[in-house]
């Protein structure tokens, strides 16, 4: 699945703009700056594909990337960005709900959690939304390179505890670093085995 080329297809701001649901799709959700775009770049091995920036909240649209002919990788807008105007937040929340509950080919959502911070309130909210939308989700820990191995267990316990409350949660947690490449092959394999 990851052998082919990856390309940015389009940014979507309304359901009418969604590309044809003609292939498997996975999406990446997470707080602003958690590392969604960087993870997509790492998975596809294409630097600069999904714009990774230091400015939080820059990815405002649902961004579709093709990975070969059989897979879409979908970069969702970052949530929990305090400076975004309420109207903007509400608009994308509406779109997100419609997308999550209405997309037939969506196989799994990956909820990205910063290894330094663990599950926050806004993450809980997105997990609840995934529960109610009946979208199986799996947690991907990001920026693992920023946390020493001995300090990871405590955060992982907190994440496991949070997941236990969510019926749509897939229990396996994937620890990644887009910077160092840790966990990237594992995540590719997980995606490749979805059907
Ligand atoms: P928004 O699009 O604003 O929601 O952010 P995002 O979730 O797409 O985050 P992005 O990939 O742009 O990364 C945010 C910042 O974190 C950038 O400065 C990245 O270089 C950095 N970053 C992302 N992944 C890693 C990682 O694995 N390790 C380290 N050390 N830094 C990372
Ligand atoms: Mg981004």
Q: Which residue ranges form the domains of the chain, and what is each CATH number?
A: 6-192 (3.40.50.300)
Average pLDDT over residues 106-134: 96
Is the pLDDT at 195 greater than 90, yes or no? no
Q: Is 78 in the pocket of ligand 1 (CB under 6 A)?
A: yes
Looking at residue 181, its pLDDT comes to: 97
Rounded distance between C-alpha atoms, residue 184 and residue 188, angstroms: 6
Best probe residue, ligand 1, of 8, 28, 35, 44 (max atoms within 8 Å of C-beta)? 35
Q: pTM (2 decimals)? A: 0.94
Q: Residue 192 contacts by C-beta under 8 Å, 6 or more apart in sequence?
A: 1, 2
**Interface predicted TM-score (ipTM) of this complex, two decimals:** 0.99
């Amino acid at each position: 699945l990851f052998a082919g080329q990856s390309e940015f297809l389009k940014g979507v701001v309304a359901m009418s703009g969604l590309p044809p649901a003609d292939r498997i799709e996975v999406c990446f959700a997470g707080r602003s700056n958690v590392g969604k775009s960087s993870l997509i770049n790492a998975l596809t091995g294409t630097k600069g594909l999904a714009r990774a920036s230091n400015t939080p909240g820059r990815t405002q649209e649902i961004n579709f990337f093709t990975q070969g002919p059989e897979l879409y990788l979908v970069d969702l807008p970052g949530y929990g960005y305090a400076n975004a105007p309420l109207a903007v937040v509400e608009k994308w929340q509406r779109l997100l709900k419609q997308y999550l509950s209405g997309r037939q080919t969506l196989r799994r959502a990956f909820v990205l959690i910063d290894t330094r911070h663990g599950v926050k309130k806004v993450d809980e909210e997105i997990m609840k939304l995934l529960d109610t939308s009946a979208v199986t989700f799996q947690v991907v820990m990001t920026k693992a390179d920023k946390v020493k191995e001995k300090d990871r267990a405590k955060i992982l316990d907190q994440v496991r505890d949070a997941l236990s409350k969510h019926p749509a949660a897939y229990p396996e947690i994937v620890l990644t670093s887009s910077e160092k490449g840790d966990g990237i092959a594992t995540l590719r394999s997980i995606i490749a085995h979805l059907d």
